[in-house]
A and B are shown apart, each in its own frame.
Chain A
Amino acid sequence: EIVMTQSPATLSVSPGERATLSCRASQSVSSNLAWYQQKPGQAPRLLIYGASTRATGIPARFSGSGSGTEFTLTISSLQSEDFAVYYCQQYNNWPLYSFGQGTKLEIK
């Protein structure tokens, strides 16, 4: 089983500033990593797949990077609607998919 570890658990950032979220895999997942955003009471929404490819309709302020075991999601200039919980998911070890525990991005 591949364990995904996200850090920090909670990140406090002011609107307009940059946010950097991390995700680490317990073994290499190549570039088979996705990021999701979840707002309270809503389903997760796909942001990034292939570690760095934005999903359809996702604003350019969201970017993903990394490969192997270390990944980063960067939100360049936080908007009010970006405050949410973010999850990473590895799909290299298909079909034993696994998710990180999430990072809560809150307003500072």
Chain B
Amino acid sequence: EVQLVESGGGLVKPGGSLRLSCAASGFTFSSYSMNWVRQAPGKGLEWVSSISSSSSYIYYADSVKGRFTISRDNAKNSLYLQMNSLRAEDTAVYYCARASSGWKNWFDPWGQGTLVTVSS
């Protein structure tokens, strides 16, 4: 069974840092691009960042560029999101999601999400 399990969320003060992890299983992790998507409380979905299978291509939404860093460890079947200079508007559930094969991707499956709360 294909599975994605996020961890690392929690309460952090504005300006603080947090590192999210996503553990993948049930598929050849090193063959797929991966993504982070977030959802603020009661709001819709917002794409955050993407990383290609070999980490050669990395992209960010403008809202997080310069503050967040996506990375992966194919040997550990893991995806990461380092979040620095956190703001109240970064409060959200963060999902990792596998991209479909190829260059234009839908997302399937998604992990269960991890909640990040930025508050003093």
Contact = CB atoms under 8 A, between A and B. Distances in A.
Nearest to B107: A46
Contacts, number: 57
Contact of B105 (A87, A91, A99): A91
Given A43-B112, A44-B95, A99 B104 contact: no
Interface residues on B, range: 20 to 34
Interface in A29-46: 32, 34, 36, 42-46
B44 A101 contact: yes
B73 interface: no
B110 A45 contact: yes
A99 B100 contact: no
Given A43-B95, A43-B112, A46-B109, A95 B50 contact: yes
Interface residues of A, number: 23
A107 interface: no
B45 interface: yes
Interface in A1-50: 32, 34, 36, 42-46, 49
**A-B CB proximity, top 5 nearest:** A46-B108, A34-B106, A43-B110, A97-B47, A95-B59
Interface of A: 32, 34, 36, 42-46, 49, 55, 87, 89, 91-92, 94-102
Given A94-B104, A97-B47, 13 more contacts: A42-B112, A43-B112, A44-B110, A46-B107, A46-B109, A49-B108, A91-B106, A94-B105, A97-B105, A99-B45, A99-B46, A100-B44, A101-B44
Interface of B: 35, 44-47, 50, 57, 59, 61, 95, 100, 103-113
24 contacts: A32-B104, A34-B107, A36-B45, A43-B95, A43-B109, A43-B110, A43-B113, A44-B107, A45-B109, A45-B110, A46-B106, A46-B109, A49-B100, A49-B106, A89-B106, A89-B107, A91-B105, A91-B106, A92-B104, A95-B57, A96-B47, A97-B35, A98-B47, A102-B44
